[in-house]
Structure 1
């Protein structure tokens, strides 16, 4: 029951966030946002297996987090 209440509150919040984002977007440059774009409980359109892995090596993590170089300097 607590899960249902949490989902209901998030549905309300996601609807408001989509409304606000749509008010401030450029209609010519981007698609309209939907509440599920902001809802943390909604499943993503792609499953984990369909997502493409990143195309950068693990060395980028060292450069960013250990050496503290900005990402633009690594490219």
Structure 2
């Protein structure tokens, strides 16, 4: 049980830090999503990029410390 709590805390802090670093709004809009962030989305141009969800409907792709979200499908 302790490991699960530590992992959950780490992931929550990571999302907050990523959102702050890349200047995403600290308060998420009250949107209703058909599909949640980082669930079925992909980043074909950067297949090893990591997805973070600063808000429930927003997927942010990070590769080597850089936000590549805008270049995932170009």
The TM-score normalised by the length of structure 1 is 0.33
Decide which structure has greater helix share. 1
Structure with greater strand share of residues? 2
Query: Normalized against structure 2, the TM-score is what?
Result: 0.33
Higher relative contact order (CA 8 A, sep 6+): 2
Structure with higher Rg: it is 1
